[in-house]
Amino acid sequence: MRGRRSLPPRGGARPTLRRSRRPAGRRAPARSPSAGGGSRPGRAIAPQRSSSAPQGAPGRPTVRAPAAEDTTRKSGNTSGRSPSTLSSRSGGGARGAGTGPRRGGPMELAAMRAVPFLRNLPESALEGLGSRLRAVEREAGAVLFHAGEPADTMYFVESGELEALLDLDGEPLARLGPGSFVGEIALLIDQPRSATVRVAATARLWELSRSDLDGLLDRHPLLALELSRELSRRLVATSLRVASAPAVQCTGVHGDPVALARVLDAAEPGRIALAVLPGATVPASVPDSVLVVDATAVDAEGATALAREGVPGRGRLLLLLPPTPSPVTTRVLGLCEYAVAVGAVPPWLEQDGRPRRVLRCDGSRPSLERVSRWIRGRAIGLALSSGGSKAVAHVGVLRVLREMGIEIDALAGTSGGAVVGAGYACGLGEEELVARLRELARSLQLRHGDFNLLPRSALLKGARLRHLFDTQCGGRSFADTTIPLWLVASDLATGREVVIDRGPLADGVRASMSMPVFFNPWPRDGRLLIDGAVVNPLPASVLRDAGIRRIIGSNVAGQESRLEPGPSGRIPHVLQIVSRMINSMEREMLKVQVPLVDVMIRPQVNIGYAFDFGRIGEFIAEGVRAARAGAGDALARLAS
């Protein structure tokens, strides 16, 4: 019947219609097909229990249908690109497009060492592999191979970028940059290609045939072992990347939801529903195209069913929470992907068993836009690596991201990356951030150190460093940052990763950069914490665990420091030795994190030891160069 809209009755309740009041002089807008089955503005469905309904059956929520001024649904293209862009990318991707394969000299040993799973192979194995590879160049848009095709080659990526897809019009399943390889699975199991691989940025590749791979595996069993390890790491990475989305994308909202509903509705017209739970007040001035569900009379079972099933025709459901917790909020919050706190965060919202992430919103436009991107799965996270003074290059990367208009919605940092990340999350501009880094550099000079009288654990206590961080952060806590921030440290007793996102910022930064031998372990929550570079030098996994689906990595970890023997061949000093030891650990840990990053930026910074701040300007310039030249196109695609 025209003008009626109801949800399927539950518990024997049968909805009836009642007419809502319309302000005098207001005309009813024309109906829109997208308003959900011919709904007419000004109608509402009110729950009434029939006498035969069983006791305790949940009441039906009241639904206020939206005005249908312009609620045309978006097309099925969810990639964020325009259809014309997609067609040009796929249409020009005929196999073999580009310069085509050509014979070249053997692949350089240095280039092979850059491929993670080849790094540990003996030189004899690398020479055998290099002599069997042939150089291949492909232009952007070319299709390397299609899903379902017979497989007879695999490829190593020397430069450029590839993307794996289920079909040419779909979203990329993975992006493969320098040091990656592709096509090996079909060769190993003798099956057709499982995915289509397209060139995203002009690429130089090295091609290896099936017969050559088989011969190498027979002669060099270690190659098979390293290959299996790399495939295992990819499987773990894929498990972290791919998570089934809930049938209903449900978000709890504490505080005034109107501004957030407006921002979400502007991004996704006609897809937003707002359910008002018991104890909450039906808001005024909700956009006409947002469907309002009066669920103030339902019990816990009814609210749970609403959260699970959603509202027909609406892809996202906001649940307006009451000021205080209740059995209803306890049930529905367990089904929410996020909870949004507009204004102050009530303590009960962050208790155990609540959503995996509480998004803070101060009500400003930038904050509302950021929360909207989180809810819609469009948030971009930035992982800042460890690397001591090399981490200054992250400042140059941040400059390029700002110039490109790429909004960072979440940050995770380790050690030196924690220092830069904390400053950025506090809203510091580049000039102020650089000034803080120069101040840090001065404080790390040995003459300013708070030495342990008897250096049992480390040379320096690091208490002065913590005080400096607290001063620079203005005494802020993690709850005071403008964007979500996670810092990584390592538990000295267990060797496990510790992710810090609560309490004073200064404690988190100090713990994350507790470099062994240099600084005492930092006590926190009954544990002694040391530098996070030991367990996770590039915390992309932390962002994935938080629900971020698009990740940029700025990585200066694992690069060799200059090793300059002193006069008469004297061995390097302790700072250089410890720095090189940590670099070696970082390179191993990076193998797990790199596959989780969508766009990797790799500034090349050469220093003498971990706290060599002598060329801050050069480090920043290198970060700018790496972001623009090495990842500019990939960044633009990620943000599109």
**Among 90, 289, 389, 415, the one annotated catalytic:** 415
H or E, element range at 203: strand 196-209
3-class SS of residue 53 = coil
For residue 39, give every residue at least 6 positions away whose Cβ sits within 8 Å of its Cβ, in sequence order, or none: 3, 4, 5, 31, 65, 66, 68
120-150 per-position pLDDT tens digit: 667 777 888 888 888 899 998 999 998 888 8
Segment holding 459, helix H or strand E: strand 458-460
The pLDDT mean for the chain works out to 77
| 531 carries an active-site annotation | yes
The DSSP secondary-structure symbol of 481 reads: -
Percentage of the chain beyond pLDDT 70 is 73
What is the per-residue pLDDT for 610?
58
- The pLDDT, as a whole number, for residue 385 is 95
CB 194: neighbour CB atoms within 10 A?
Answer: 15
Residue 89 sits at φ, ψ, to 5 deg, of: -70, -40
This prediction's pTM? 0.66
How much is the average pLDDT of 46-60? 41
**Residue 238 token pair:** 């894929």
User: CB count, 10 Å around CB of 549?
Assistant: 15
Backbone angles phi, psi at 310, to 5 degrees: 70, -165
Closest CA to 574 of 514, 517, 515: 517
Is the pLDDT score of 241 beyond 60?
Answer: no
CATH topology agreement for domains 109-240 and 249-375:
no
- In this prediction, residue 63 has a pLDDT band, given cuts at 50, 70 and 90, of low
Residue linked to tokens 């991707």? 93
pLDDT over threshold 50, residue 3: no
- For residue 92, pLDDT over 60 is answered with no
Q: pLDDT tens, 148-159?
A: 888 889 898 888
pLDDT of residue 227: 72
Distance CA 148, CA 153 (A): 14
CB-based contacts of 59, cutoff 8 Å, min separation 6: 13, 47, 49, 297, 298, 299, 302
* pLDDT at position 568: 58
Domain assignments of the chain as residue spans, ordered by start: 109-240, 249-375, 379-560+599-639
pLDDT of residue 73: 33
Percent residues over pLDDT 90 in the chain:
37
Q: What pLDDT digit, counting tens, does each position of 580-594 carry?
A: 777 778 888 888 888
Average pLDDT over residues 301-307: 89
Q: Domain 249-375 is classified in which CATH homologous superfamily?
A: P-loop containing nucleotide triphosphate hydrolases (3.40.50.300)
Q: Which tokens belong to 140?
A: 């952007």
Rounded Cα gap, residues 74 and 372, in angstroms: 17
**Does residue 203 surpass a pLDDT of 90?**
no
Q: What SS3 state is found at 240?
A: helix
Of 495, 494, 540, whose CA–CA distance to 386 is shortest?
A: 540
Report the relative pairing of strands 43-46 and 62-64 from DSSP bridges.
antiparallel
Per-residue tokens: 315: 């892809």
Instruction: Quote the CA–CA distance of 74 and 84 in Å, as a whole number.
Output: 15
pLDDT at 609 over 90: no
CATH for 379-560+599-639, among 3.30.460.80, 3.40.1090.10, 3.50.50.60, 3.40.250.10? 3.40.1090.10
pLDDT by residue (tens digit) across 375-401?
998 999 999 999 888 999 999 999 999
**pLDDT band at 11; cut points 50, 70, 90:** very low
- E strands, 43-195, in order: 43-46, 62-64, 100-101, 134-138, 143-145, 153-165, 174-176, 181-182
Can you give the pLDDT at residue 564? 55
Q: How far apart are CA 310 and CA 552, in angstroms?
A: 33
Specify the 3-state DSSP secondary structure of 220: coil
Please, what sign has the CA dihedral across residues 493, 475, 383, 168? positive
3-state secondary structure of 502: coil
Q: Which residue out of 212, 294, 531, 612 is catalytically annotated?
A: 531
pLDDT of residue 89: 30
* Four-way CATH pick for 109-240: 3.30.200.20, 2.60.120.10, 2.60.40.10, 3.40.470.10: 2.60.120.10
CB burial class (10 A; 0-12, 13-18, 19+) of residue 631?
buried
> Residue 61: its pLDDT value, please?
60
Model confidence at 522, in pLDDT bands (50, 70, 90)? very high
Whether 470 is a known active-site residue: answer no
pLDDT band for 457, please (50, 70, 90 cuts). confident
Please say whether the beta carbons of 138 and 205 come within 8 A. yes
Task: Give the span between the Cα atoms of 595 and 166, in whole angstroms.
Answer: 18
Region 322-351 average pLDDT: 88
Average pLDDT value for residue range 151-177: 82
Candidates 278, 277, 272, 268; CA nearest to 258 is: 272
pLDDT tens, 98-125? Answer: 444 333 455 666 667 666 666 666 777 7
pLDDT over 70 at 82, yes or no: no
